[in-house]
Amino acid sequence: MDKKIVVAGMLLPELSEVITKMGEPGFRAKQIMEWVFKKNTLSFERMSNLSAALRQSLDASMQVVSLRESRSVVSADKTVKYLFQTRDNNVIESVFLPESKRATLCLSTQVGCAFGCTFCASGANGLARDLSADEIVSQVLLIKNANPDTPLTNIVIMGMGEPLANYEQTLKAVRIMNSPDCIGIAARKITISTCGLPKEIMRLVKEGIQVELSVSLHAADDELRTSLMPVNKKYPLFELMNTAKEYIRQTNRIITFEYVLIKGVNDRKEDAQRLAALLSRIKCKVNFITLNELEDRKMFTSSPKEIEEFKQILDKRGIHYTFRRKRGRDIQAACGQLRMAHSS
């Protein structure tokens, strides 16, 4: 298969270099960027302020995006799950969450996942490969193109894969999404989620880009967290919490800890007490997620009574928390339900 240069994976200086090597003035790169990122144009042929000869040259050596939409499924709550085919015939999933005058997009960074969290479908078949920056950004461009009347206001990098295990490509994609020459989404409207990789979290601090950080926690003691998230065996809570404190100290930003409530596993009163104790001196908030049950996992959603009792304990300890709205569950697009597929 051809390996054309992909516009979706480039910042303006990179595209300018490519264009000048083609014998064209550098300002043509700015024009191309405007068509792609501002006007949602995915075809060089439609770039009417470029000469026909240049459009033909671009079409021969470049492409705008590196994914192809395989299909989409719409939920009763208007959430849309998109399946995109890669050039090597893997299929990844992205989720579009529209509201009245805004929308959030959930992106994948890997084909599958190597970390094997027990409540998440993404790692069911292991990791096939990392996505490139152009494949990550292509998800944004294709979904923007399909929804031109709904402004894209937030990006959450919480789909398939561990973003910080694909560090270089994820950060390149973030810079493209953040750049005013490209998509132009404010850094604070971009959230990177991680299962908790201390070295990469501290590396993120040094990048100087003010994205939001969300850490999957899901348990407040090592034995339970290791049973849910095998990564805890390598990076136990002591190391993760010290990293979180240092991240907060250096960035002066809060961390969000994700916590999926699983009936009889991590939703008991003693679990709430441990969680409150663990987070009592950390500048953070907890984002609770109701378990989205998977057919092949014997894990179940906590009852309203159990959730209320859990909340009451946190209220007494002054822990700030939110509950994530249930979106896209009926189309397997909710948190923890995205999984690797293969094209037929």
Q: 24, 34, 93, 270: which one is catalytic?
A: 93
The model's pTM is: 0.93
Residue 335 has pLDDT above 80, yes or no: no
Euclidean distance between CA atoms 277 and 193, whole angstroms: 23
182 catalytic residue (yes or no): no
93 catalytic residue (yes or no): yes
Average pLDDT for the chain: 92
Q: What is the pLDDT of residues 309-332, one digit of tens each?
A: 999 999 999 999 998 766 545 545
Catalogue all structural domains in the chain, each as residue range(s) with its CATH number: 5-63 (1.10.150.530), 68-342 (3.20.20.70)
The 10 Å Cβ neighbour count of residue 273 is 16
Q: 106, 117, 284, 335: which one is catalytic?
A: 335
Q: What is the pLDDT of residues 271-311, one digit of tens each?
A: 999 999 999 999 999 999 888 766 656 788 889 999 999 99
When pLDDT is averaged across residues 160-167 and rounded to a whole number, the result is 97
